[in-house]
Structure 1
Amino acid sequence: MPDQVSAAPDRSTLRLALAVGGLVLAVLLGFGLGRLNSGGAATAVGLETTDHTHPPGTAPHDHGAVADGSASTDAGGLAISAAGYTLAPLTTGFTAGRAEPFRFQIRDAQRRPVTRFAVVHDKPLHLIVVRRDLTGFQHLHPTMAPDGTWSVPLTLPQPGTWRAYADFTTVADTGAQTALTLGVDLTVPGRYDPRPLPAAATSTTVGGFTVEYAGTPQAGATVALTFRITADGATAPVERYLGAYGHLVALREGDLGYLHVHPESQLVDGAVRFSLTTPGPGRYRLYLDFQVAGVVRTAEFTVTVP
């Protein structure tokens, strides 16, 4: 009788198969957990968000970085389109003193609404609005519908031309991020009486607080600015706002070029420190948002850069 070959695998073959299967399963589980921990799967009202983080030890910087990673000296917000993206408002006309919805989309090079944004400073998009004489500063946070339309109630109190800046970071299918600030003019009919820019000063008061800054901005250089907030001579207990102890926007007089800078992650001897790169000489208006006892206030400064 011929020898019969058993159809059942021997024990060594079975052990090898189990080991290989276990290894494959571990790799798949690790990949899945890695995606969950990356933050890329977080979704809210159709918006895929990815936390925008900086490597440990990275110095504060603006989001206008050039290819080699150094700070850009170019101001943002001067154009409605850049890097293949366009700020597309649904309306640009407003009535003075009336709250009206401001709706817009961010569209890609194929004119498709973008719906994936990185969360930067606790929000996927920051909307800055100011009149062209640099008065009436507003820092708003629109909400996005599933079709990619952003909306926020907006009141423009005085006639004139206003500038709206959308500050955001898109997330591509590959995970690549593109940080941009795009700008568009809004119009309010009526007599426009522009106000002169206040004189340069390093100290101001707002809401019972005295805000002073130290540091001298220089054209084309990155300089540290330290803001100290006091009340009745004592350092105020500044709270985190938008994921940091302060939020600073700088606008250039004339063309309203936009600089968005970032603070140190911790207070420095009770003060808030930023790194500011000024693109060139001129006068700039600084707007510092800070929070104490749950209330956000804005301190404003005029800075002259020789």
Structure 2
Amino acid sequence: MDFYLLTALTQTFRTACRKLAVLLCFIMFFILPKAWGDHAESITQLHRGEKAAETGRLLFNLDFKTQGVNNISCSSCHQASRSFASSKQFNRTFTGQATRYNAPALVRLNHQIVFGIERQDPNLVNQIRHCFQNNMNVTPAKLLFVLQSDDVLKTNFNQLFGRLSAGSAYQVIAQYLLDLEFSESKYDQFLNGDTKALSEEERAGYQLFMEHGCNHCHSGSELGGLTTAPVQINNEKVWRKVPTLRNIAFTAPYLHDGREISLINTIDFMAKTYSYRALSQDEADKIARFLSTHSSSISDSSGEVFRAPH
């Protein structure tokens, strides 16, 4: 009986392995190439130089209320002074209703492969289009009206594209965000081989970060932006984008719903939720000190727009 049971279990295991291998091959050859391809396309189509980025900057910060459209701009939720995040738990849509999520920081988007907390679109231009039409209520027709009403924007778009179009507007905003310049953080220096870039306490925090498996989701040079992870919303497990942790020390409130103001408390919550282990106050402090080393100042064509204290 034991022999037959062992044989059956072995066959079941082999079948499961074959199915897993097929699934992995499907992901590697069909899903990932499409995600990377769409992401690459959304970037390579944008190489139109500094004028495009400067035009995107003007449009990103444009107060649409002055244009008779509504009272929301991109910078209403993504404030440069907050590392392109929001100081509010929730912002307001064009209807005055609270947004579903805390606005994420728009940091080093050219090092990320999915955009949007919920939609997780591999194409940045598509995500910008979604925000304009759904959060800001700026339809393509309204956007064209704005472009035609602003002499500077109208001139720039005609020089860049030969015509005015909503699609081109989304592209120049993407160009602006992709062209933002970030100073080298202490953690960047550490990754580049400077072992003295981090203090002994910061290195201890880095070690704790790794030991608790935080890097399983918050991976890569940006410590995030490359994958999704499950979160509990209304007692339901859903998958949401893992945010980057660059400049995390300056982008409170935290978590997808902005429920937490304290970075220390957020770290403790994440440890309990995902590594199933409570941290001591000292451990949480050390991880927070490590995360604070991944801080960068940000500049655009107008100069420095965010300064990270060191």
Q: TM-score, normalised by structure 2?
A: 0.26
Q: TM-score, normalised by structure 1?
A: 0.26
| Structure number with higher relative contact order (C-alpha < 8 Å, ≥ 6 residues apart) | 2
* Structure of higher CA gyration radius: 1
Higher fraction of strand:
1
Higher fraction of helix:
2
